[in-house]
Structure 1
Amino acid sequence: MSPSFPRSDSKMTFPRVRVVATAAAMIVLSSALAGCGSDGAEVQTAAAPEVGVYTVHSESLTLSDELPGRTAPYLVAEVRPQIGGILQKRFFEEGSYVEQGQPLYQVDPAPYQAVLSRTEATLSAARLRSERYDMLVENQAISRQSRDDATSQFQEAKAAALSARIDMGYTRILAPISGRIGRSSVTQGALVSANQANELATIQQLDPIYVDIVQSSTAVLKLKADAAAGVLQVKEGNGAEVSLTLENGAEYPYKGTLKFSEVSVDQGTGSVTLRAVFPNKDGILLPGMFVRAKVPAGTNEQALLVPQRTVSRDNQGRPYVLTVDNEQIVRQQSVVVDRAVGNRWLISSGIKPGDRLIEEGIQKVTIGQQVIAKGDKSGGKTSGITVARH
């Protein structure tokens, strides 16, 4: 027979086990809840990020247009004979500098010398006859008509002699202007004629020298619109200072002066030509050279220039800036970028003086987030900046 145990002992064992398990579970649950509460407190008390800001201010900005241009001679003279004959001599070296009035060619003068001698003899006889008839008409020995005929013949002889002397002078061809003469198209022994199509040589005056600058009609209209709106203060009239950049990228050492602007638009190119004159005493500029000229366009007294790294672009390539408002909240603002000025952007719209743009820490902030602005790098107002727009 199996031994028997009192019933009261069995009933007292099981309740003690359940009490211990329940207490352990409560401890684990309390620890978990405590941990969750600790994590939440850390998120709520996280510090706002610090960002570097740039405060927008207005500046005086002088704008200039950088435009293409070509050099052209200040004076050009094509040397042509004014009489016909055989070319006897050439008195100049090709490519040399010649002075105005310097002999260039000699045409055979013999035929013209003969004509001159004949006309001068006729002139002498006509003069004596006219003087004699003047005395005879006073004594009423001849009619006044005879005296008038003699006077007319004398004047005709005088004109013929003058024409012969002019032709004789044309046998020596002189330089019409001072400048550098090119190659000769004829040699000794060539037959030349008056009003021939081909020039004997060409002389170009290169000091000073012209630069013809081309500006699109669209740019002219925009310049006038900006001036009318008060965005630019434009200097009217000629006399503005112009600078040049040569084909090799070097700056031309001398400044030029704007002389005039065409009053009409070229229908073929849709452009307007500006002409400037430059000193060229060193002979650096030669006719036909391509250059780039900086022509003053106007002054913007309220230009807004910002560091380039304050401007970002969205997926469509549209520029925008991140600003910090008075409550230290990050905002996004679309802007219109005009052009680059060194390492800054010229902004035409979208911001105003006093706006604070995020320059440092853009990558760690989001729109609507509160931040701590520091390190204002506005730098103070400047003036006299010049920028060329291409």
Structure 2
Amino acid sequence: MKHFLLTRASLSSKPALAALALTTLALGACSQSDGDTRKEARETQVGFVVAKPSTVPIPVALNARTVAFETSEVRPQVTGVIQKVYFAQGTRVRAGQPLFQIDPSLYRAAVNQAQANLASARASAAAARLKADRYKPLADMEAVAKQDYTDALADARVADAAVAQYKATLDTARINLRYTTVPAPISGIIGRNLSTVGALVSASQTDALAVIQRSDPMYVDMQQSASELVALRRQLRTGGVTPGSTQVHLKLDDGSIYPLAGTVKFSEVTVDEDTGTVTLRAQFPNPDGLLLPGMFVTAQFDQANAPGAYLIPQGAIQRDFDGTGYIMVVGNDGKAVRRNVTAERTYKTYSVVTKGVQTGDKIIVQGLNGLRQGAALKAVAASSEEKVGASASAAKGS
């Protein structure tokens, strides 16, 4: 009875009742906070990117070799002894510039002889024409036989033909005399002198006197497998890919990149029987002469474009033991979902995914370590300022 009275007394006290209510509320709040903390601890924080289709270039790297834009082997067109050399080896020459002088004495004499023969033929032709002109009225009056006039007229025509013949001979002699000075056929850089002063050269020789090459612009011949080219053309025809850019970049033998871009000009229509490759030719500006004919280089260009592909950060693509690629996406229920994908190549820092991804998929790119199928997620955009992967305990401690 005494205990009952004390309890009623204590409950009837207002300060004691307020203290009891506050204690009850505090205990409830602590219980709710612990529940939220346990829920956050069960969720894995991840960062995701939203999949969007794009047109991805298909780059190729082909072995190539530089080829001079123009090449001319300087050869003699007449026979004789070289008297002078007018150029310095390794310098730039212009078209028409004299390079060699062959002894012209025999050819000058041939010109003089042809001139004399032509003068003689012209005199004979003039006399024959006068004779025929005199015989014509006499033949009309039958003062001379008509046959005599016919013979005189024929002699005049033969004399005219002889004039034309000797004139052609004189033109040939003058041309041969002009050929004793050997000019540069094209403008460019001339190489070493292959024939010196005093050397006997002839129009039928196989060796060149010198070689001139024009290297600005410069050609680059690229070799591509015929099977790859056929496969590409088949894809272009079926619409699997679209034509790429014709712009080409060069990687030099020392690993550096040539600063100027070139353009693909054409592709051969035949396949090399020995190598099974097709030659593609590109043209590059070469104002500083950095590219030299015969250099081995690597040509890089986007030969086609693949529409409807997805660029996924390479770190998001994981591999099974058998090499199968897969990604983790945020499911509609907020849990991790594994998705097998086809990613056969890369582009810059991305993997190019052609199968297994749909537009709008939230692909997990951060927080993948230890992530399993069906795990509860707290997903934020990868570009979010919130620190992905922060532990629940760290959040509680703050």
Structure 2 residue matching 1:157: 3-state secondary structure: helix
Residue 252 of structure 1 and its aligned partner are, at CA, apart by: 2.0
Question: After superposition, what is the alpha-carbon deviation per residue over 1:128-174, rounded to whole angstroms, capped at 9, x for unaligned?
Answer: 21122222212226522211221222122112111111111111111
Code of the residue aligned with 1:344 in structure 2: it is Y
Residue 370 of structure 1 and its aligned partner are, at CA, apart by: 3.4
Give the 3 Å change call, closer, same or farther, for CA 378–232 of structure 1 in structure 2: farther
1:320 counterpart = 2:329: no
Query: Which residue number in structure 2 is paired with residue 7 of structure 1?
Result: none
1:202 counterpart = 2:211: yes
CA distance in structure 1 between the partners assigned to 2:345 and 2:62 by the alignment: 16
CA distance in structure 2 between the partners assigned to 1:355 and 1:377 by the alignment: 14
Structure 2 residue matching 1:337: 3-state secondary structure: coil
Code of the residue aligned with 1:376 in structure 2: it is A
1:343 counterpart = 2:338: no
Residue 256 of structure 1 and its aligned partner are, at CA, apart by: 1.8
1:163 aligned to 160, 172, 190, which one?
Answer: 172
Query: Which residue number in structure 1 is paired with residue 83 of structure 2?
Result: 88
Query: Which residue number in structure 2 is paired with residue 106 of structure 1?
Result: 101
Query: Which residue number in structure 2 is paired with residue 372 of structure 1?
Result: 377
Question: After superposition, what is the alpha-carbon deviation per residue over 1:1-46, rounded to whole angstroms, capped at 9, x for unaligned?
Answer: xxxxxxxxxxxxxxxxxxxxxxxxxxxxxxxxxxxxxxxx9xx977
Query: Which residue number in structure 1 is paired with residue 61 of structure 2?
Result: 66
Code of the residue aligned with 2:127 in structure 1: it is R
1:135 counterpart = 2:130: yes
Structure 1 residue matching 2:358: 3-state secondary structure: coil
CA distance in structure 1 between the partners assigned to 2:239 and 2:382 by the alignment: 29
Are the counterparts in 1 of residues 48 and 379 from structure 2 also a CA contact under 8 Å? Answer: yes
Give the 3 Å change call, closer, same or farther, for CA 228–331 of structure 1 in structure 2: farther
CA distance in structure 1 between the partners assigned to 2:46 and 2:261 by the alignment: 46
Are the counterparts in 2 of residues 328 and 373 from structure 1 also a CA contact under 8 Å? Answer: yes
Are the counterparts in 1 of residues 336 and 377 from structure 2 also a CA contact under 8 Å? Answer: no
What RMSD in Å do the two structures reach over aligned CA positions? 2.3
Code of the residue aligned with 1:296 in structure 2: it is D
Query: Which residue number in structure 2 is paired with residue 49 of structure 1?
Result: 44
Greater shift after overlay, 326-335 or 194-203?
326-335
Residues 301-312 of structure 1 mapped to structure 2, 5 A cutoff: 301-312=307-318
Mark the runs of 5 or more structure 2 residues left unpaired by the alignment: 1-34, 136-148, 385-398
Residues 139-158 of structure 1 mapped to structure 2, 5 A cutoff: 139-140=134-135, 143-158=152-167
Structure 1 residue matching 2:369: 3-state secondary structure: helix
Structure 1 residue matching 2:275: 3-state secondary structure: coil
Residue 317 of structure 1 and its aligned partner are, at CA, apart by: 2.2
CA distance in structure 1 between the partners assigned to 2:269 and 2:238 by the alignment: 22
CA distance in structure 1 between the partners assigned to 2:120 and 2:302 by the alignment: 70
CA distance in structure 2 between the partners assigned to 1:376 and 1:354 by the alignment: 13
Give the 3 Å change call, closer, same or farther, for CA 302–351 of structure 1 in structure 2: same
Are the counterparts in 2 of residues 57 and 354 from structure 1 also a CA contact under 8 Å? Answer: yes
CA distance in structure 1 between the partners assigned to 2:170 and 2:97 by the alignment: 25
- Give percent identity, aligned residues only: 36
Mark the runs of 5 or more structure 1 residues left unpaired by the alignment: 1-40, 380-390
Residue 73 of structure 1 and its aligned partner are, at CA, apart by: 0.6
CA distance in structure 1 between the partners assigned to 2:191 and 2:381 by the alignment: 64
Question: After superposition, what is the alpha-carbon deviation per residue over 1:231-279, rounded to whole angstroms, capped at 9, x for unaligned?
Answer: 42216xxx93322222223222222222111112222212111111111
Residue 378 of structure 1 and its aligned partner are, at CA, apart by: 7.7
Q: TM-score scaled to structure 2, two decimals?
A: 0.78
Greater shift after overlay, 208-217 or 90-99?
208-217
CA distance in structure 1 between the partners assigned to 2:316 and 2:261 by the alignment: 36
Decide which structure has greater helix share: 2
Structure 2 residue matching 1:297: 3-state secondary structure: strand
Residue 65 of structure 1 and its aligned partner are, at CA, apart by: 2.3
Structure 1 residue matching 2:217: 3-state secondary structure: strand
CA distance in structure 2 between the partners assigned to 1:338 and 1:179 by the alignment: 47
